[in-house]
Amino acid sequence: MKIIIVGCGKIGISIIESLVGEGSDVVAVDSSPSVIDEIGNTYDVMCVCGNGADIETLKEAGVSKADLFVAVTHSDELNMLACFVAERMGAKHTIARIRNPEYNDKSLDFLGKQLGLTVSVNPEWLAAKELYNILKLPAAVNIESFSGGNLEMVELRLKQQSILDGLSLIELRKKYNAKFLICAVQRGEEVYIPDGNFVLKSGDRIGITASTTEIQKLLRMLGLMQNSAKSVMILGASRISYYLTKRFINSGNKVVVIDKDERVCEAFAAQLPEAVVICGDGSEQELLLEEGLGSTDAFVALTGMDELNILVSIFASNQGVPKVISKVNRSQLALMADNLGLDCIVSPKKTVSDILARYARAIKNSQGSNSIETLYRLMDGRVEAVEFNVSKDFPGSKIPLKDLALKPNTIIAGIIRGRKSIIPGGMDEIQAGDRVVVIVAGQQLIDLGDILR
């Protein structure tokens, strides 16, 4: 499968890494010779230096044979133009990164149809949505939704002396009357797809699938339920900050935004006058305390510097802020942040990489019968959660799950039948028309049939 990536910044490189790992034939296009040289020295991909909307550049990249064309330069307009030209030159599917808030849903829908876009992605909007969901359920370190929100996977970190320490999953299900499934556990560098005999330990990062109401019910039983954040302090007046602040204010909540760039602050305040915008250096501890860090429900670090986000988040955590979230794009620093106790990390580039991996696999599976609906990478990328639409040709249909010969490190985490979410037991069956959520470690799924031995 041939995929062309135009624009090799942070997002572009993350996509290249992801798709090379998927085994795709990737072509990288960028106008900077130094960037292209670095990409060529680092990854096993074809590299083309030039303007991604230029016909000759795209001919050299082989656009007429491209299964997927992705434009993620810093310019929305260039991305749209590049996709338009690529589609006219024969690219089968095109995806453009469009970040400007001025492009609303109606205009994007119109532009998409006129330009032949398969889809547009806005990493900052997606990250803000992820942040908002976590702030509404602060006990979680990550939340992913399936089937339009009918089923969720929530990741939790078991604190020291957790009441779950030493409990097997069988004992846990018997003790707590809620419909849920612990489908993945990360313990240090190891990841497990657990069975009923697996024993939990403090410090584990666990993935739980359930409906939203059952998740909340379980958290209340465990004494982990926290009130939704009503006030939030945001460091950095970025695009993510704009989308998050808008969502939070529309919910009737209080937002304080701090940034040291005076012009950025003025523009932000003009766009969102309901927010409190402070012009100052957010790395100064006194400023944060003066503006109410100690009394806020949540602190979110969204500057363009991973290191600053981590350091200030550690300070906020030490001040007793109930929920602290950091934006960290570099995977090495994300691991460091986790080791320092910052277990709630967001990464826009990871979100986009997951979306592109899903589209790539969906295209690969176009000859198959069980289409991919959703794909997420969890537990530092070691676990995948894939949602499939089940066709009548699936060989595992109408067989009790206890009798299905699943591959190792594979679990059926949820079945969505119509609007009903089922946390499956051994006697449940997969039926044609269902949506099925599968959790796997150490493998990639293209078709639902891949889960069977």
For 194-254, the DSSP string reads --TT-B--TT-EEEEEE-HHHHHHHHHHHT---PPPSEEEEES--HHHHHHHHHHHHTT-E
**Regarding predicted confidence, which is higher, 402 or 105?**
402
Query: pLDDT tens across 174-199, in order?
Result: 888 888 999 999 998 899 999 999 99
Q: What is the mean pLDDT of the chain?
A: 91
Per-residue pLDDT, 357 = 84
Residue bearing the bigger pLDDT, 109 or 97: 97
- Report angle CA 191, 192, 195 to the nearest 5 degrees: 170
Higher pLDDT, 352 or 316: 316
Q: Does 92 have pLDDT greater than 90?
A: yes
Asked whether residue 367 carries a pLDDT value surpassing 60, the answer given is: no
Of the given ranges (99-108, 258-267, 300-309, 339-348), which has the lowest mean pLDDT?
Answer: 99-108
Report the SS3 class of residue 377: strand
The class level of CATH for 127-222 reads: alpha beta
* 157 has pLDDT over 70: yes
Residue 382 banded pLDDT, cuts 50, 70, 90: confident
Q: What is the pLDDT of residue 366?
A: 63
The domain 2-121: what is its CATH number? 3.40.50.720
Pick the CATH number of 350-451 from 3.30.70.1450, 3.40.1260.10, 2.40.50.140, 3.90.580.10: 3.30.70.1450
Which residue did the predictor score with more confidence, 394 or 224? Answer: 394
Q: How confident is the model at residue 370, as a pLDDT?
A: 76
Could you read off the pLDDT of 22-34 as tens digits, one per residue? 888 999 999 999 9
pLDDT tens-digit map of 397-428? 999 999 999 999 999 999 999 889 999 989 99
pLDDT digits (tens, 9 = 90+) for 126-154: 899 999 999 999 989 999 999 878 899 99
- DSSP letter, residue 391: P
Asked if residue 289 has pLDDT above 60, the reply is yes
Compute the Cα dihedral for 214, 215, 216, 218 and give only its sign.
positive
Strands across the sheet containing 46-49:
46-49, 25-30, 2-6, 68-71, 94-97, 119-121
Give every CB contact of residue 114 below 8 A, 6+ residues apart in sequence.
none
- pLDDT higher than threshold 60 for residue 111: yes
Identify the pLDDT of residue 110. 75
CB 349 within 8 A of CB 327: no
pLDDT at 53 over 80: yes
Q: Give pLDDT, residue 104.
A: 62
pLDDT of residue 427: 94
Q: What is the pLDDT of residue 224?
A: 83
Task: Summarize pLDDT for 238-269 with one digit per residue, the tens.
Answer: 999 999 999 999 999 999 999 999 999 999 99
* Fold match flag (2-121 vs 231-321): yes
What is the largest distance, in Å, between two alpha-carbon atoms of the chain? 66
CATH architecture of the domain with range 231-321: 3-Layer(aba) Sandwich (3.40)
- pLDDT of amino acid 386: 93
- Are 183 and 157 within 8 A, CB to CB? no
With a pLDDT cut of 70, the percent of the chain lying above it is: 98
Residues 6+ apart with CB under 8 A from 290: none
**Residues whose CB is less than 8 angstroms from the CB of residue 364 and which lie 6 or more positions away in sequence, other chains included:** 1, 446
pLDDT at position 369, please? Answer: 62
Q: Quick one: pLDDT at residue 306?
A: 94
pLDDT digits (tens, 9 = 90+) for 344-363: 888 888 888 888 888 888 88
For the chain, the structural domain boundaries read: 2-121, 127-222, 231-321, 350-451
Label residue 301 by pLDDT band (50, 70, 90): very high
| Rounded mean pLDDT, 283-296 | 95
Q: Coil, helix or strand for 121?
A: strand
pLDDT of residue 106: 66
